Amino acid sequence: MLKDKEVIKIKEMYPKGTRIKLEHMDDPLHPILDGMLGTVDHVDDAGQIHMKWDNGRALAIVPEVDSFSIVDEDISKDMIRVLIIEAENHPRIENIHNDLKTMQDIVGGQIEEIGFGEDAVLICNEEGKLMNLKANRSVGNDIIAGTFFIAGDDGGEELISLTDEQIKEITDRFYEIEEHTQEEMMSKIGFKIYGF
């Protein structure tokens, strides 16, 4: 239980309207996704930070339990909201720079774009299997090697942010951590168009 002075300090640090990025919420049942952005509504007398999350939810942050950080009010216009899927983790939301170097850094090498439904694209390492990157998730008849991410695609030259609906659907699709052997991954043949 927080002391009154600690609660006052939290109220001063996180006034209404403060933008927060959630790093991780320690809620075993219905946590807010890692990387989600939200706006502080108020801090209660127990020191919990009540939030209006960008996905429409309103679960409070518990400062001594959850990890989070303050972010600038405006996200740079050259950034997009994507879902990053690592081999041994649940999907996480992240705002990334919409440029080639950032994408290469995420996947650890040259990128390959694979259609994922009508309005999204899966970005993975083009040489992931040759580099023997860790087997990640199965997609269609293939198993993706290494970290990949999914962004929105409106048919233009630049990728776009995922919608809240896409984030929910894709998170549900990839939430379970899959266990694949490297041999199993190497035996799979990839196809260019995937659905979800």
What global pTM score does this model have? 0.63
What pLDDT, in 10s, does the model give residues 27-86? Answer: 878 888 888 989 999 999 999 999 999 888 999 999 989 999 888 655 556 788 899 999
The phi and psi torsions of 46 (rounded to 5 degrees) equal -95, 0
Tally of helices (H runs) and strands (E runs) in the chain: 4, 12
Pinpoint the alpha helices (H) of 62-196. 100-107, 164-174, 182-186
- Note the Cα 120 to chain centre separation in Å: 15
Domains of the chain with bracketed CATH: 4-70 (2.30.30.30), 79-194 (no CATH)
Q: Report yes or no: 91 and 169 within 8 Å, Cβ to Cβ.
A: no
What pLDDT, in 10s, does the model give residues 138-154? Answer: 998 899 999 999 999 98
> Does pLDDT of 168 surpass 50?
yes
